[in-house]
């Protein structure tokens, strides 16, 4: 029997409807419109699409979605000056520096310059530290989307064996920390795999919940999945067949108990969690 499809797009729409009510209530009670400003350097086609989708989502929820552009030849100092101006702008509650940046600019230097109170991507070292300690200001967007996808589909996380493929600062590491915490949506036993992991398939077959976030198209095959496991595909790749994830979807679907599609799985929830963080940032800056 084929796996149950975890529809991230439909879930994102439900959560956004909830957030729209909260945004309207916040505006009515505070006379302030939450504002997210995206910073785009150069003209990367994928980044253009991502930023446009984020701004469109802002509009649907009543959030002010702004865009600041710099040319591809902009220097790090010019970008830092823009970030500094946005940090000081009281009308801006969230700052999103769209990655990747041109190769001439060190992204760590830029991300560290964003005010921790406006760091809605949760990349600043202060916010990462708070996450590790279990007292987050914001939750990183893609990991939070994965967590919501599991929680709202009734997946048992507490006590489950979770295996995460990938140790990136954007997905793998923060998601592992979130699922290790105590409380709802956590209390899991987590293993993080990477390029140096030995006997990888043996490890992944132990997973009750397998999360693929390695950026390699169709890397996870059916023989790597325990029958009945929940498979979350965070990957977004393009090959000769078009868009695909890190999971061999058609084959794994026949083994897994639940699975996310690509597209339409984790991606829409990433944007949704960004909007939630923007509202949280606006609330924090009113206190």
Report the catalytic residues. 54, 98, 121
| 150 close to 209: Cβ distance less than 8 angstroms | yes
User: Which string of b and e fits 221-251 if b means at least 16 CB within 10 Å?
Assistant: eeebbbeebbbbbbbbbeeeeeebbbbbbee
∠ Cα 155 159 163 (to 5°): 75
| 96 close to 274: Cβ distance less than 8 angstroms | yes
Give the span between the Cα atoms of 41 and 33, in whole angstroms. Answer: 26
Give the span between the Cα atoms of 269 and 255, in whole angstroms. Answer: 25
In angstroms, what CA-CA distances link 205 with 198, 210, 226? Answer: 13, 9, 5
- Angle between helix 172-180 and 141-151 (nearest 10): 50
In angstroms, what CA-CA distances link 134 with 27, 129, 156, 170, 240? Answer: 29, 9, 20, 17, 42
| 158 close to 188: Cβ distance less than 8 angstroms | yes
Q: How many helices (H) and strands (E) does the chain have?
A: 10, 11
In angstroms, what CA-CA distances link 132 with 41, 171, 192? Answer: 30, 14, 15
Residue in 286, 285, 284, 280 with CA at minimum distance from that of residue 22: 280
């Amino acid at each position: 029997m084929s796996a149950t499809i975890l529809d991230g797009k439909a879930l994102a729409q439900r959560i956004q409807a909830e957030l729209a009510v909260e945004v309207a209530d916040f505006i009515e009670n505070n006379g302030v419109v939450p504002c997210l400003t995206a910073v785009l350097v150069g003209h990367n086609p994928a980044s253009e699409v991502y930023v446009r989708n984020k701004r469109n989502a802002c509009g649907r929820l009543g959030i002010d979605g702004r865009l600041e552009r710099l040319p591809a030849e902009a220097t790090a100092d010019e970008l830092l000056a823009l970030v500094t101006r946005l940090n000081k702008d009281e009308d801006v509650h969230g700052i999103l520096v769209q990655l990747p940046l041109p190769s001439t600019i060190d992204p760590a230097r830029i991300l560290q310059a964003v005010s921790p109170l406006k760091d809605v991507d949760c990349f600043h070292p202060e916010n990462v530290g708070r996450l590790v300690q279990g007292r987050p200001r914001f939750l990183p967007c893609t990991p939070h989307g994965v967590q919501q996808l599991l929680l709202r589909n009734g997946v048992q996380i507490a006590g489950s064996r979770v295996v995460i493929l990938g140790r990136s600062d954007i997905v793998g590491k923060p998601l592992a920390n979130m699922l290790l915490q105590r409380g709802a949506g956590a209390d899991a036993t987590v293993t993080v795999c990477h390029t140096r992991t030995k006997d990888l398939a043996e490890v992944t077959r132990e997973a009750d919940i397998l999360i693929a976030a390695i950026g390699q198209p169709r890397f996870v095959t059916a023989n790597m999945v325990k029958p009945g496991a929940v498979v979350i595909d965070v990957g977004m790749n393009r090959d000769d067949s078009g868009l695909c994830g890190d999971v061999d979807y058609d084959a794994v679907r026949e083994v897994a108990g639940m699975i996310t599609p690509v597209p339409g799985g984790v991606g829409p929830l990433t944007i949704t969690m960004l909007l939630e963080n923007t509202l949280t940032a606006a609330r924090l800056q009113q206190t």
